[in-house]
Structure 1
Amino acid sequence: MELLQSTLQNIKQLNKEVMEKARERVDALCKPPGSLGKLEQIAIQLAGISEKLELDVSNKAVISLAADHGVYEENVSNNPQFVTVMQAIGFAKGFTGVCAIAKAAGAKVVPVDIGIKEDLPKDSGVIVKKVKYGTDNMAKGPAMSRQEAIQAIEVGIEIADEQVKQGIHVLATGEMGICNTTPSSAVLSAFCGCDPAIVTGMGAGVDSLQHKIDVIRRSLDINTPNPNDPIDVLAKVGGLELGGMAGVVLGAAANRVPVVVDGFISTVSALIAYKLEPKVKDYIIPSHLSEEPGAKIVNELLGLEPMLNMNMRLGEGSGAALAFPILDAACSMMNTMTTLEESHQYMLKIMGSQTV
């Protein structure tokens, strides 16, 4: 709890003075004002986060946290739970979707076992930070204890801190956990006070969407999570990787590092972080709009507008990795484009006495 509290206290507002200077420079660049759209806003946001006009996000990492879920017992997924193990090891070996996209973006993937049901081979390459061997079945009681929820958040903070110390300039959240759209939909339902049918989709595959919705309704009825207490919501109907990703968001903000969130599950985790400390919103860069029906709702709750709409719903941090080159472009715009005045002076210099 001490790490969580100190992290929350270390999250500060963006540097408004630097942002204003960045805005002035962006508006003065050799282009019509506003013509580069969201790229301009991202550059200004990055300046406010780093407190620098010279931007650098060259060192990138996707933190992909893996965990299992007790609610799998309720047949809310038709995929074998062992896939969580397979994909977690795949993260370390570079076999998965997020690894392929991260490689193209020049980013590394950091795989973390925060709650897989099984012990991984010692040479798996996965960082082991296991809080417990999967959550309990939330359809029968709390998914985890309050202390375990806090511990999951603190694992994410620890990983974020470690990556920043290693020189990472931008983090992204990713996850793996068979049936984890079920707790994600439950968490979102608890926060927005809406019926699960509004925010629940098919996820990676389920035989009956109505059954999945009914399980979430039952979980909410049994546990009665308090929407004003984000740790209570996480503990009762959440997941260990959701807590871990919330911790990554908090840790990034405390270190003044931008964090790119992936799709539905990652954004629900960002909502948990936001409920704990609203200032984290300024450090979040949304990547893509997931195909899950709750994705639009959770982004609206956070007041975020994802950059991409690629009809993706893989998870793992894949959409976040896909958005990394956009951040690179925003930095290049800020660092290499000249202002109109600079261009004019350059032309005067090279053309001598000729009229410019």
Structure 2
Amino acid sequence: MNLPAVSLIDPSGADAFRALLNAKAKPLGALGRIEDLAVRLGLMAGGQPPTFDRALLLVFAGDHGMNAEGVSAYPSAVTQAMVATFLAGKASANAFAAAVGADLRVVDAGVDADLPPHPKMLDAKVRRGSRNAAVEPALTQAEVETALGRGAAIAREAVEEGFEILALGEMGIGNTASAALIMHRLAPAPLTDCVGRGAGHDDAGLARKVAILHRAATRSATTAPLDVLAEFGGLEIAMMAGAIIGAASAKIPVLIDGFIVSAAALVAIRLVPQARGYCIFCHRSAEQGHGRLLAALDVEPLLALDLRLGEGTGALLALPLVRAASRLLTDVANLDDVLNGRL
């Protein structure tokens, strides 16, 4: 399929950014990983990065046919209910977005309901939920390609609108099951290392979830990213993978939230390896597989707060760190100017 071209980030300017930071009015390396982040932002921008005042959280929503098997502790109807909560401005992600000064929009990638129009919702629905991956492929190849393409277009349109940084979140009951299967095949990793409690399984529920995912995994041995998406879904994961590639093609950073968004990033990076350089992994969630997935990608997240909500909440909490790192390059005086009274 035709995905937007992504330029490989040129690392040759790293030494110049390090020298710029070392000249600031602070001890060498005193701001630790924030300095590393500042260098990355400069390299992404090919010069001084923007201040990232205009930030947009995109919450991709979709349902999963496999939830009929009991992979989640909650019914699929909760997806639609939570979409309504986002649009009413009353979800945790809304509160966090307001706290950090980010816009929020919901993307209907595949909610199993006909949703009424809303100014804060983008209708990108491919179909009403994925099929039951425990017994058949969750998506067709055409549906996968449509979801990827729509995600890339949504990201690029947001950049054209003037947003300087994108944060990704998700809502989809049962989507930790799809994410675990994607991680199993693309990390790769043993399936039992990828499966966690999701939104709240007890021990019996977790054992049932593991058994269902083993059944799903035995249907196909594929390890090709597009085929893995088709076998295991879901539409919101595929659309987020497209959005990551779209943001990277526009050379803007994309904030990666928890386990499910990281699974989408894993897909995006396996499809377009250059996209990795534009991904900022924001936190390590409490979901069992997330730490192992991050290790497979050889990335260290900015935060570790035992979050396991999704919605983009961890990405939003990391946004002030990104803004601070950017301003470190532009707003902090040089030590030489301080010592010589040239402020």
* TM-score normalised according to structure 2 size: 0.96
**Partner of residue 353, structure 1:** none
Checking the alignment, whether the CA contact within 8 Å between 2:104 and 2:120 is kept in structure 1 is no
Residue 112 of structure 2 corresponds to residue 117 of structure 1 = yes
Secondary structure, counterpart of 1:222 in structure 2: coil
- Bigger Rg over Cα: 1
* Equivalent position to 2:179, from 176, 180, 184: 184
Is the CA contact 1:47–1:55 (under 8 Å) kept in the aligned structure 2? no
Aligned-CA RMSD value: 1.5
> Do residues 301 (structure 1) and 299 (structure 2) align?
no
Name the structure 1 match of 2:217: 220
Match of 2:286 in 1: 291
Deviations 1:40-83 (A, max 9, x none): 11111111111122532111011110000000110112212111
Secondary structure, counterpart of 2:219 in structure 1: helix
2: CA distance between counterparts of 1:273 and 1:281?
8
Between the two proteins, the alignment pairs up a number of residues equal to: 341
- Correspondence 1:63-74 to 2 at 5 A: 63-74=58-69
What residue in structure 2 maps to residue 86 of structure 1? Answer: 81
Q: 2:29 aligns with which of 11, 34, 39?
A: 34
* Mapping for residues 96-175 of structure 1, pairs under 5 Å: 96-123=91-118, 125-175=120-170
Aligned mate of 2:261, from 260, 263, 266: 266
Q: 2:71 aligns with which of 65, 68, 76?
A: 76
Amino acid at match of 1:203: G
Please tell me the residue identity of whatever aligns with 2:319: F
Distance 1:88 1:258 in 2: 25
Q: CA deviation at 1:179?
A: 1.0
Residues 87 and 118 in structure 2, CA contact (< 8 A), matched pair in contact too = no
Are positions 1:339 and 2:342 aligned together? no
1:48 maps to 2:47? no
1:186 Cα deviation after fit: 0.7
Deviates more, 1:330-339 or 1:66-75: 330-339
- Matched ranges for 1:191-340 at <5 A: 191-207=186-202, 208-224=205-221, 226-227=222-223, 229-340=224-335
Secondary structure of the structure 1 residue equivalent to 2:218: helix
Deviation at residue 340 of structure 1 after TM alignment? 1.6
State the shift of 1:124 in Å. 7.0
Unaligned runs of 5+ in 1: 351-356
Q: 1:12 aligns with which of 4, 7, 26?
A: 7
State whether residues 65 and 138 of structure 2, in contact with CA within 8 Å, keep that contact through their aligned partners in structure 1. Answer: yes
Q: Is the 8 A contact 1:249 1:280 kept in 2?
A: yes
